[in-house]
Amino acid sequence: MLSKTLSGLILVLTILSGVVILSSVPKFEGEEAPRPSQKVAEERRRLTSLPSGILSRFSLFPNSLKKPIPLAVMIENHEHARPYHIGIDQALVIQEFLVEGFISRFVAIIDARNLPKEIGPVRSLRPYFLDAIKPWSRTVFHAGGSPEALKRVQEGSEFYALNLLYFDDKNGEYGSFRKDGPPAPHDLFLKKKVFKSFLEEVPERLLQQVSWPPYTIGIPDGGENASDIRVNFFNALHNVSFEYLPLAQKYQRTNGGEVSPARPNTIAIMEVPIDYIGEYGRLFMTLEGSGNVQIFHSGKVWEGRWSRGVDTQKFTFTNADGEEIPFKAGQLWMMVLPTLERVSYE
């Protein structure tokens, strides 16, 4: 009798638990709750927000859905532009380089499948920006550039570069890219709908999916504690700090007192000497060869070496034993400096 009672009780509890579980599944008015098999269909519908010409180029098999289609956007980091940064929090990678006056400028690598509603302020191009993005993206959005950079994208075939200065207010087709509030020339922003129009024109060979993340993910052995990072630009308007946020496992970047909307998971600070300074203070540097690097993530730092054979290869980061240094999954911030003596941490 006891066993029958227990069996009956178990049956009732099982039924009741099933009711609770089923009742917790979200319902959608006029349709059934989505099933796991619908995930690919949902992704297909999401991708229809991209231009139809792009959709026809890429496989919609599940494995391919995980691969981003990287695009590069030049982002201004002048102190007058910095408060208006938008869209960079969605970047896969942000590369930071010095430009004239030894202030920095960003190259934001974003995914065509996950475009920000707006990104900017967009600014001008330099040759080493092109060298840096080449392994990931051959499609570049910018606003002007140095003579060397413009010649390279206008006369060569390795990049598809959209100079937004040529399209701003052109025949009223796109409208003005200028935004009220930010002072000129830091007031040019690119909106998602315009992105889509431009992407229709990009040659297929220059708009490709890539495997992501590009680096091994994990936590290396050893490492020194480094929750607070300081980068000395010799000017309070431009000095940078990164503060590790343990709960988020990200870094909060502050630049000249301005907190960035981007919160990277990994920071790679590379030592790359400046080859020479040209006309109007423009810098030239070589992003091939090797040099010292500091990798920060998970509240620690690992010293190592960066290396790169040719500009079609990505940078590699290795420790003293020649082993690859794993990164943290999420946004990667790569900062290029002429010397790591500018960097301190604790």
Statement: residue 295 has pLDDT above 50: yes
Is the bond preceding residue 261 a cis peptide, omega within 30 degrees? no
3-class SS of residue 281: helix
Amino acid 328: pLDDT:
97
**What is the number of domains present in the chain?**
2
Q: Which two tokens stand for residue 330?
A: 């999420």
Amino acid 171: pLDDT:
59
Query: 202 and 228 in one domain?
Result: no
* Cα–Cα dist 177/164, whole Å: 8
Written as one letter, the residue type at 179 is: K
* Cα–Cα dist 316/288, whole Å: 11
Statement: residue 48 has pLDDT above 60: no
Q: Write the CATH number for 194.
A: 3.50.90.10
- CA contacts within 13 A on the Cβ side of 272: 24
Residue in 151, 177, 101, 98 with CA at minimum distance from that of residue 342: 98
> Cβ-count burial of 157 within 10 angstroms (0-12 exposed, 13-18 middle, 19+ buried)?
exposed
Confirm whether 183 is domain-assigned. yes
Name the residue with higher pLDDT: 54 or 336.
336
Average pLDDT over residues 240-267: 98
Element (H, E) at 199: helix 192-199
* Cα–Cα dist 8/31, whole Å: 35
Query: 185 and 90 in one domain?
Result: yes
Query: 69 and 191 in one domain?
Result: yes
Query: 249 and 159 in one domain?
Result: no
Written as one letter, the residue type at 12 is: V
Residue 24 phi/psi, 5-degree rounding, is -85, -10
Confirm whether 10 is domain-assigned. no
DSSP one-letter code for 183: P
Distances (CA, A) of 71 to 8, 112, 226: 61, 7, 32
Confirm whether 332 is domain-assigned. yes
**How many other C-beta atoms can be found within 10 angstroms of the C-beta atom of residue 344?**
13
Query: 198 and 72 in one domain?
Result: yes
Query: 129 and 235 in one domain?
Result: no
Confirm whether 108 is domain-assigned. yes
Query: 242 and 175 in one domain?
Result: no
Name the residue with higher pLDDT: 284 or 207.
284
Q: Which two tokens stand for residue 321?
A: 């034993």
* Cα–Cα dist 190/193, whole Å: 9
Query: 171 and 132 in one domain?
Result: yes
Statement: residue 304 has pLDDT above 80: yes
Confirm whether 340 is domain-assigned. yes
Confirm whether 118 is domain-assigned. yes
Query: 238 and 185 in one domain?
Result: no
- CA contacts within 13 A on the Cβ side of 176: 4
Residue identified by tokens 């999420």 is 330
Query: 155 and 127 in one domain?
Result: yes
3-class SS of residue 57: coil
* Cα–Cα dist 292/269, whole Å: 9
For the question of whether the overall pTM of this predicted structure is more than 0.85, the answer is no
Confirm whether 129 is domain-assigned. yes
Show the domain range for 190: 62-206
Could you read off the pLDDT of 212-235 as tens digits, one per residue? 999 999 999 999 999 999 999 989
Confirm whether 254 is domain-assigned. yes
Residue 68 phi/psi, 5-degree rounding, is -75, 165
Distances (CA, A) of 80 to 16, 151, 183, 185, 259: 61, 28, 7, 10, 14
The mean-pLDDT minimum among 35-39, 245-249, 272-276 falls in: 35-39
Query: 83 and 147 in one domain?
Result: yes
Beta-carbon contacts of residue 78 (< 8 Å; ≥ 6 apart): 103, 186
Could you read off the pLDDT of 138-161 as tens digits, one per residue? 999 999 999 999 999 999 889 999
Determine contact, residues 186/81, Cβ cutoff 8 Å: yes
Distances (CA, A) of 2 to 8, 16, 321, 336, 341: 10, 21, 67, 75, 78
